[in-house]
Structure 1
Amino acid sequence: MTPSSEPVVIVGGGQSGLAAAHAALSSGLRPVVLEAGAAPVGSWPDYYDSLTLFSPARYSALPGMAFNGGDPDRYPTRDDAVAYLRRYAGSLDAEIRTGARVTAVHPRPSGGYLVRTDNGDEIAAAGIVAASGSFGNPYLPVLPGQDTYAGEVRHVAHYRRPEPYVGKRVLVVGAGNSAVQVAYELAPHARVTLATRAPIQFLPQRIRGRDLHHWLRVTGADLLPRAVLTRLVRHAAVLDTGVYRDAITSGQLTRRDMFTAFTADGVIWADGTHEAVDAVLFATGYRPNLDYLAPLSTLDNGMPRHIAGVSTTHRGLVYLGLEFQRSFSSNTLRGVGRDASHVVAALPGGETGGSWRRRPSMKRSPVRR
């Protein structure tokens, strides 16, 4: 049973942290959400300007609140998602502290945890939900010659808009949604090549007039367990209405096998040829952003040891928003709510509701800055 004086601390106030707060309130727990940024919207404001969700609004909501008004079949923009998360945070009767970056989580000899933040706060916690996502930890591979390359090398986490690349020769590395979407946006402004290790795999965005996410839901494929998914999804796949495939077929976008090395002014392609390029954008994914858990010795090369989001090393420690944590949609707006309910049940007091019996309410949240 969780003492009322000791909350469950949720690290991260984005979609995962807010879903965790809703689930904690539903279980009678008292959550305290710690968000490093200035608002409880996670990393959404930092994504590239043209980003749109890959799922329609009707499938993109967190538990307890529909997505912002409008056509439920539209694909919300980055700014739509930010506005939705602000509204969702304001609806929760939970303590949300912004500008509070967690620097360390320590075990306490008596049980539970001590959470330290960069502004000097220390919070005794009965349980921890690590919901800090991965956007703050982009994966940037290092290739031979990269340190001598004079052009621009950056991860797409730091890409915003095409204007800085007008007239330039640009390579985009990656075969997933972000790589193809950014390359397609750049193509009218720059000479762009997609560099991938395998041909790009496409999934149709619409089937028989309905969005793919409709079929994922009605068939139950959205709920396939992680073990099944990792066998089925061996390569990144790009959701496409046909425009991306057509761009490659028509030559508007070029795809080549991944280059093997950098030179001072460009790259060496897999066939041994050299090409001068101005910029290389890596869309090579992210890794969990969990350095603050280092005092617990629970990470294995930066990756958490868990089963379906529940730590296998520490009682009262759970994770939320990990890719393929429990299903295909675990790290998305539309899927994180299911996982939140699952992991919160594993927290101290989560099975019975502990000494807190409140339900989620539509009151304004006391956001602290």
Structure 2
Amino acid sequence: MEHVDAVVVGAGQSGLAAAHALRAEGLRPVVLEAADQPAGSWPRYYDSLTLFSPARYSSLPGLAFGGDPDRYPHRDEVVAYLLRYADRLDADIRTRQRVREVRADGAGFAVDLASGARLGARAVVAASGSFGRPYRPELPGLESFTGEVLHAADYRGPEPHAGRRVVVVGSGNSAVQIGAELARHARVTLAGRRPVRLARQRTLGRDLHWWLTRSGLDTAPLGRLVRTPPTQLVIDDGRYRAALADGAPDHRPLPTAADGARLTWPDGTTEAVDTLLFATGYRPDLDYLSPLGALDEAGHPRHRDGASRTHPGLAFLGPEWQRSLSSNSLRGVGRDAARTARRLARHPGR
């Protein structure tokens, strides 16, 4: 069994930030990534995805995003940035290496890979994100629905849905962005438990993230107070407000049931629907930690500011509201990574 200082599970933004911070603390991490390149889930997001934060607020520690700092980078620009970041890291990044399970082993951990290989590590950073575990709420009769059922994780672009009747479930950024894009090609309803809440992307000539940074709200350690993430604000440059006002997409409460090709709405009316697309977020993809007992009944990490409550040498990086509003973003994960690396460098098992 190969023995290493630390294993980082995942080579997306969180895993790469973790590797950078661990190297700064004198540790030599091995980063394990299931995909064939160190860019996390970014290459698998839908084609039109654009960051809601400008490039100046979208960098990991040690490497500026580059280009016009006030532009809003496209998905492919983020992928290229992460690949560039990984290439400049002095870290052992191993792709096509899926972690099957992590078990306690003395003062450290045994990390078993799907390939059959095993690593021994004094510390483990779980930075595998959530894209591999899409969340879909219950809808009575959904198992009998004969239309197409998708999650935002499966969506790439509007072309396959042209001319069809589509219901997008969700009220957050992805739901609104996808719904507005689809509505230019199809008849689309955005269905959610609550109204869409829009936030202006720019106020008094400044981007929202400028205000968040200047006010300190972006970094405030509120994670311990946030047990259930608050209703997501949809960042809008005016396009989404106009689209919703024009009814493209229209907005309705959640359907109450599905039956065959039809959905039932709360007012009792039914209609045939071709595609039901859930843009309802994700849950932490951490099943490989189950042998440790480090997760709660819902599969969420038991942690305080990213430090495991059950195993001192285990850390989590990238969960929403891990410590602050920006914890699971390009602009904020580096701060959490630095705190995590300092803590693990002091771990007695080192």
| TM-score relative to the length of structure 2 | 0.96
- Using the TM superposition, give the Cα deviation of residue 275 of structure 1 relative to its aligned residue in structure 2, in angstroms: 1.4
Deviation string for 1:343-369 (max 9, x for gaps)? 12221x347996xxxxxxxxxxxxxxx
Relative contact order, higher structure (CA 8 A, sep 6+): 1
Corresponding residue of 2:286: 290
Unaligned 5+ runs, structure 2:
none
Alpha-carbon contact 2:30-2:92 (below 8 Å) kept = yes
- Using the TM superposition, give the Cα deviation of residue 121 of structure 1 relative to its aligned residue in structure 2, in angstroms: 1.4
Alpha-carbon contact 2:223-2:321 (below 8 Å) kept = no
C-alpha RMSD of the superposition: 1.8
- Using the TM superposition, give the Cα deviation of residue 297 of structure 1 relative to its aligned residue in structure 2, in angstroms: 1.4
- Using the TM superposition, give the Cα deviation of residue 119 of structure 1 relative to its aligned residue in structure 2, in angstroms: 1.3
Question: Does the alignment pair 1:31 with 2:9?
Answer: no
Question: Does the alignment pair 1:167 with 2:185?
Answer: no
What amino acid is the match of 2:188?
V
* Cα 1:5/1:116, change in 2 over 3 Å: closer
Corresponding residue of 1:324: 321
140-149 or 178-187, larger mean C-alpha shift:
140-149
Question: Does the alignment pair 1:315 with 2:312?
Answer: yes
Query: What is the 5 A alignment of 1:46-61?
Result: 46-61=44-59
Alpha-carbon contact 1:144-1:262 (below 8 Å) kept = yes
Query: What is the 5 A alignment of 1:81-120?
Result: 81-108=78-105, 110-120=106-116
- Using the TM superposition, give the Cα deviation of residue 134 of structure 1 relative to its aligned residue in structure 2, in angstroms: 0.2
Unaligned 5+ runs, structure 1:
355-369
Deviation string for 1:151-180 (max 9, x for gaps)? 011111100010110000000000000000
- Using the TM superposition, give the Cα deviation of residue 229 of structure 1 relative to its aligned residue in structure 2, in angstroms: 6.8
Match of 1:100, SS state, is coil
Alpha-carbon contact 2:315-2:340 (below 8 Å) kept = yes
- Using the TM superposition, give the Cα deviation of residue 223 of structure 1 relative to its aligned residue in structure 2, in angstroms: 1.1
Query: What is the 5 A alignment of 1:165-244?
Result: 165-227=161-223, 230=226, 234-244=230-240
* Cα 1:322/1:233, change in 2 over 3 Å: closer
1:42 pairs with 31, 40, 43, which one?
40
2:72 pairs with 71, 75, 78, which one?
75
Find the aligned partners of 1:233 and 1:89 in 2 and give their Cα distance. Answer: 30
136-145 or 221-230, larger mean C-alpha shift:
221-230
Match of 1:292, SS state, is helix
Corresponding residue of 1:338: 335
1:15 pairs with 13, 16, 20, which one?
13
| TM-score relative to the length of structure 1 | 0.91
Alpha-carbon contact 1:29-1:350 (below 8 Å) kept = no
Match of 1:346, SS state, is helix
- Using the TM superposition, give the Cα deviation of residue 111 of structure 1 relative to its aligned residue in structure 2, in angstroms: 1.1
Find the aligned partners of 2:128 and 2:223 in 1 and give their Cα distance. Answer: 24
Find the aligned partners of 1:70 and 1:107 in 2 and give their Cα distance. Answer: 45
Deviation string for 1:268-287 (max 9, x for gaps)? 11111111110010011100
Deviation string for 1:173-223 (max 9, x for gaps)? 000000000001001100000001111101110011111001111111101
1:154 pairs with 150, 154, 161, which one?
150
Alpha-carbon contact 1:27-1:352 (below 8 Å) kept = no
- Using the TM superposition, give the Cα deviation of residue 231 of structure 1 relative to its aligned residue in structure 2, in angstroms: 8.7
The count of residues paired between Structure 1 and Structure 2 equals 348
Identity over aligned residues, as a percent? 58
1:249 pairs with 234, 238, 245, which one?
245
- Using the TM superposition, give the Cα deviation of residue 5 of structure 1 relative to its aligned residue in structure 2, in angstroms: 5.3
- Using the TM superposition, give the Cα deviation of residue 6 of structure 1 relative to its aligned residue in structure 2, in angstroms: 2.9
Find the aligned partners of 2:29 and 2:227 in 1 and give their Cα distance. Answer: 36
What amino acid is the match of 1:187?
A
Alpha-carbon contact 2:224-2:304 (below 8 Å) kept = no
